[in-house]
Structure 1
Amino acid sequence: MESIGKYNILENLGRGAKSTLYKVQDSVSGQIYTLKRILREVEDDYRYFEQAETEYDVSRRFTHPYLRKSLELKRIKKWLKTVELHLVMEYVDGITIKQARLTKVDEIIRIFIMVAQGLASLHDLGFVHADIKPKNILLIANNGIKIIDFGQSCAMGHQKLRIQGTPDYMAPEQVDRNFLDQRTDIFSLGATLYEVLTGEHYPTKVRATNDGGTELTAPPNVRDIPTPISKNPQAPSSLSKLVMDCCATNPKDRPENMREVISRLEVAQHLFQRQKSLHPEPIPELVSPPQLTTPIDHESDDDSDDFERFIESIL
């Protein structure tokens, strides 16, 4: 059996731009973990080390069940230079919300309440996730969820020197390299919920193109953006309005914090359940989002890194 240090490799879980994920077992304790192995092949690969170090620094503090915790970061050095990193994380067996093809409104609301609760805990620690998207939210056993991939995270009020994030989910302040706070995650959560409800991307300033590229666009006029309820009448009006408020261009026009989002999601949940009780006949399910044609790695940094390289090429 192959091993990395004291960890026996059980399964290869996937690859990122410069990393490989493994399901491993601690040879001493017998515990199962995920190990992310990052290699530095050229000088520019330092950014992947930075992301792993950021993820460890942020996620080692977690105690909330909806946030994936990191347990160890080991540096492999050669001639006093770090050439490899091993990030040991909680093992999570699940599928992304995009793979799940969610259709039932009450189930969607229930899941996003949990996501908002996890993010509220992250914000209480003083950090912003800064890369919330369908691929970074996993559905796990016992109807739970797990938020993953904290490599883009930063402290509240931080102003990044580089544009980092994923097209179709980035808040305007990320594109403009302004200060980030909890409302940045609120925008991305809204864009993610918009996609789950409608099967379409919210029209952000930075969008992925059909040929796999990226394009920068003018800020969309909110009046021209179809609301979730206009795209799918089964989306409750209260939920539709919350999504649009979360995706406001100006952070001041969004919900103030994640607890306000939770409260409004719970109201939408109550109203939807009341509607179902008044109309016991089956309510049609939402239109399914497009089926994925390729598998998704559970912590791939390709989307955000491809975009970062694109930005550097035009600046």
Structure 2
Amino acid sequence: MAASPTHIGNYSIVEKIGAGATSNVYHAQHVKTLASVAIKQLRRGRQADVYLDMFATEVALGRKMSHKNIVRILDADLHESDGAYLVMEYINGNALDRSEQVNTLPPILTVLSVVEQVASALRYAATLGIVHRDVKPGNIILMPNGLAKLTDFGCAVPSSELGAVVAGSLAYMSPEQLEGDALDQRADIYALGAVTYRLLTGHHTFEADNAFDARIAIHNYPITPVETYRKKLPKKLIDVIGRAMEKNRDRRYADWDEFIADFGNAAHEIRMSDYDLDLYRGFSMSTQSVLSSYMSADRAFSRSGFSRSTLPESYGI
């Protein structure tokens, strides 16, 4: 494994903080101002024209955008001999791929807030004719103050144009994106539906042992019902996820305004409810069934009176 560089351009490297399919990401400081930034640099083995063109597109599209929920691009050098790089604002937060497992799921109110913020960012990008193509938990950073930031437009393309390659993350990829079709905002709506599903359940929308089976599932099989993994989520919220993830894009939400309106209505009902929707978060289905039985027997039952600490070991996650 190659060692991290000590400097890139006018920046000294603090540490490596991430790696993607084509690039590495570093926390860095400007050598004069000491301002903290994040630097994304193409790896040496990814200097072919197709990757350079995608990187140049990311820089060009990123420079067009200014939104509180999108990580800003500050600078770039596409001709650096050690690899093209771009400089972004440094975000002190955690990517949500740390919160996508069954035992690490965020509270439902956090999920609602994140989805609303990312939808706002993607609606803004759509007004500029930009399709992100890689909306997933790992590309959403949640700051301690609750602000969510969408990052990594490395797969982004202008709307209704074909990308140089089929790109994105399979678990969040719509059928038309998988086919390499020209895309519009409905591809990102599908992806955000899949993100919502993952953050609520800790599972992908389909079960597959390999990429081939995943592709078949994306094209042909309905998503696994949310209730398979988490009880008692409101039907209105489940319906929004289902419509966002329709395989035929003409049956999906037509645009972000439609999605945001329906999602907002579902979120409002949840926020106004006094029912503890987090009661089932992070538990196995067998334990959720036990909880449901207790709830049916005693409406005054609450999580404070029956927590993981009081569960028998046989009811583990």
The TM-score, its normalising length taken from structure 2, stands at 0.78
Paired amino acid for 1:147: L
Match of 1:61 among 52, 55, 64: 64
Paired amino acid for 2:12: N
Match runs of 1:1-315 below 5 Å: 2-41=6-45, 45-76=48-79, 84-100=83-99, 101-203=104-206, 209=210, 214-215=212-213, 216-217=215-216, 219-222=219-222, 225-276=223-274, 279=275, 284-287=279-282
Residues 62 and 231 of structure 1, relative CA distance in 2, 3 Å threshold: same
Number of matched residues? 274
**Structure with the higher fraction of residues in strand conformation:** 1
Identity %: 27
CA RMSD of aligned residues (A): 2.5
Q: Give SS of 1:217's match.
A: helix
Supply the distance in 1 between the matched residues of 2:206 and 2:175 (Cα, whole angstroms): 11
Paired amino acid for 1:286: R
Residues 46 and 83 of structure 1, relative CA distance in 2, 3 Å threshold: farther
Question: Which stretches in structure 2 are left out of the alignment for 5+ residues?
Answer: 285-317
Supply the distance in 2 between the matched residues of 1:221 and 1:25 (Cα, whole angstroms): 48
Judge conservation of contact 1:197–1:235 (CA < 8 Å) in 2: no
Shift of 1:14: 3.1
Instruction: List, as ranges, runs of 4+ consecutive aligned residues in structure 1 with deviation greater than 4 Å.
Output: none
Deviations 1:21-44 (A, max 9, x none): 22111123332111122244476x
Deviations 1:95-117 (A, max 9, x none): 12231333422221121111111
Supply the distance in 1 between the matched residues of 2:43 and 2:113 (Cα, whole angstroms): 39
Question: Which stretches in structure 1 are left out of the alignment for 5+ residues?
Answer: 290-315
Shift of 1:162: 2.8
Residues 56 and 284 of structure 1, relative CA distance in 2, 3 Å threshold: same
Supply the distance in 1 between the matched residues of 2:136 and 2:11 (Cα, whole angstroms): 30
Supply the distance in 2 between the matched residues of 1:167 and 1:49 (Cα, whole angstroms): 22
Residues 103 and 285 of structure 1, relative CA distance in 2, 3 Å threshold: farther
Supply the distance in 2 between the matched residues of 1:141 and 1:31 (Cα, whole angstroms): 20
Highest CA radius of gyration, 1 or 2?
Answer: 2
Residues 59 and 133 of structure 1, relative CA distance in 2, 3 Å threshold: same
Supply the distance in 2 between the matched residues of 1:53 and 1:235 (Cα, whole angstroms): 42
Deviates more, 1:267-276 or 1:131-140: 267-276
Judge conservation of contact 1:167–1:214 (CA < 8 Å) in 2: no
Supply the distance in 2 between the matched residues of 1:4 and 1:63 (Cα, whole angstroms): 25
Residues 130 and 288 of structure 1, relative CA distance in 2, 3 Å threshold: farther
Residues 5 and 259 of structure 1, relative CA distance in 2, 3 Å threshold: same
Shift of 1:187: 0.5
Residues 201 and 283 of structure 1, relative CA distance in 2, 3 Å threshold: closer
Paired amino acid for 1:7: Y
Residues 217 and 104 of structure 1, relative CA distance in 2, 3 Å threshold: same
Deviations 1:270-297 (A, max 9, x none): 1112321xx5x785142369xxxxxxxx
Q: Give SS of 1:162's match.
A: coil
For residue 297 of structure 1, what is the aligned residue in structure 2? none
Supply the distance in 2 between the matched residues of 1:146 and 1:234 (Cα, whole angstroms): 29
